[in-house]
Amino acid sequence: MVDQTILFSNLSFVQTGDFYFAVFGDFTIAVNNCYENSVRQLVEKILVQNLGDNWWEQVASTKMKREVEQLQENEKKRKWLSVRGKVSPLYYLQWGDLVKLIRKHEDLFLPHVGSLRFVENRFEELESLRNIVAHNGVLPSENDFQRVIISFRDWCRQLDGK
């Protein structure tokens, strides 16, 4: 563990508690990352299996395609920065767009997720908490942190059937 006295001794606008919140937030970011990527992988797997390799052209709205293309173009212009690293357009979509794709092809996803309401409830709750952490905020209570963990566990258990 980093010695916080050395780290914060000359920073008048950083409080000791900020360090602990940052470490706590990092774990939450890691859980969110696993959660979101699990959703993306499930969506892609199901769509490829059922619609073939050209699934993106079939399922994405014009708005989704445009937003993904804009993000990819911006990445190409900033050659000094790494790209998202994944080839799937799903890694460029917002959380809510993933829900839209699942809704649009509910019949393909129901055997895996059980019910659309299960997905909507988890994602709706998680999105606000995810946004706090993703923008370097601090989850205001231990309950919120636990909610992220439990939601991810629920998601995993639902998909694994355990």
pLDDT tens series, the chain, 162 aa: 555 555 555 555 666 666 666 666 677 778 888 888 899 999 999 999 999 999 999 999 999 999 999 999 998 899 888 887 667 999 999 888 999 999 999 999 999 999 999 999 888 888 888 888 777 777 777 788 888 889 999 999 998 864
DSSP secondary structure letter of residue 115: -
Closest alpha carbon to 56 in 9, 105, 18, 8: 105
DSSP SS3 for 63? helix
